[in-house]
Amino acid sequence: MTVGQVVNDMSAQGLGKDTQKAEYWLIFDDVIAKELDAQGVGICHVSSLVTLTLGESLKIHAPFVRQFRSVELLATSLSACLPDLVESFSHISSSGISNRASSSVYAIGPLINRIVSTEGGLAVSNKMEVLDKHGSPIKGLYAAGTVGLGGLELPKFGYHLGWSFVSGREAGKWVGEGRTEDRS
């Protein structure tokens, strides 16, 4: 895999051998940027209540959002392979999408996986005990927060924090008191 190459295969093999040192950027043109802003798509969460669009992120000079006047400038800035980037953008125009005249290109990144859990988390009992594949509690193993959602999927804007506090406190009570009986 070369820098600037479009990645469609997200497997370890498709991403290349040295995935620990790889940097990935979301790169798109002005047409997509205008559509994102027109739909009010949030790309930056400033707090649990404030989400910024691409245009708003550019206005405050968010460090992870970059705008370039050309693919050449983007390639130079990101130390990417210009021919691969040009080829990637040519796939857009050859895909049958019309009116792709673009004056700017954008890069968001580098994209880094900072959350290493899945939405819904591990299956847990009402005592926050992790359940095995048969639904039985694993003795002494508790989960809370994002890891201990037990299949629950929460909306954004701070609900995860509330769940983290409550589930952590509940798991801590069961562990600390050595309780085995159900309080409900």
> How confident is the model at residue 134, as a pLDDT?
92
For residues 153 and 81, state if they share a domain.
Answer: no
In a domain, 116, yes or no: no
For residues 89 and 138, state if they share a domain.
Answer: no
In a domain, 123, yes or no: no
> How confident is the model at residue 98, as a pLDDT?
44
CA–CA separation, 132 and 124 (whole Å): 9
In a domain, 117, yes or no: no
> How confident is the model at residue 1, as a pLDDT?
43
For residues 102 and 140, state if they share a domain.
Answer: no
In a domain, 29, yes or no: yes
For residues 106 and 136, state if they share a domain.
Answer: no
CA–CA separation, 127 and 149 (whole Å): 12
Q: Which residues contact 138 (CB under 8 A, 6 or more apart)?
A: 129, 130, 131, 132
For residues 28 and 75, state if they share a domain.
Answer: yes
For residues 17 and 106, state if they share a domain.
Answer: yes
> How confident is the model at residue 97, as a pLDDT?
47
Question: Please, are residues 30 and 102 in contact by the beta-carbon 8 Å criterion?
Answer: yes
In a domain, 3, yes or no: no
> How confident is the model at residue 120, as a pLDDT?
67
Predicted confidence pLDDT, tens digits, the chain (184 residues): 444 555 555 555 554 545 556 677 888 888 888 988 998 888 876 655 678 889 999 998 888 899 999 888 988 888 887 887 887 777 665 544 444 556 788 998 887 655 555 566 788 888 889 999 899 999 889 988 878 776 666 665 566 677 778 888 888 888 887 655 555 4
Other C-beta atoms closer than 10 Å to the C-beta of 181 total 6
For residues 136 and 51, state if they share a domain.
Answer: no
For residues 78 and 32, state if they share a domain.
Answer: yes
> How confident is the model at residue 101, as a pLDDT?
54
111, 139, 165 - which closes a domain: 111
Range of the domain at 89: 12-111
Sheet of strand 24-29, all strands in order from the earlier edge strand to the far edge: 24-29, 105-111, 65-68
For residues 30 and 88, state if they share a domain.
Answer: yes
111, 143, 166 - which closes a domain: 111
The domain total for the chain is 2
For residues 70 and 107, state if they share a domain.
Answer: yes
> How confident is the model at residue 27, as a pLDDT?
86
For residues 96 and 69, state if they share a domain.
Answer: yes
For residues 16 and 50, state if they share a domain.
Answer: yes
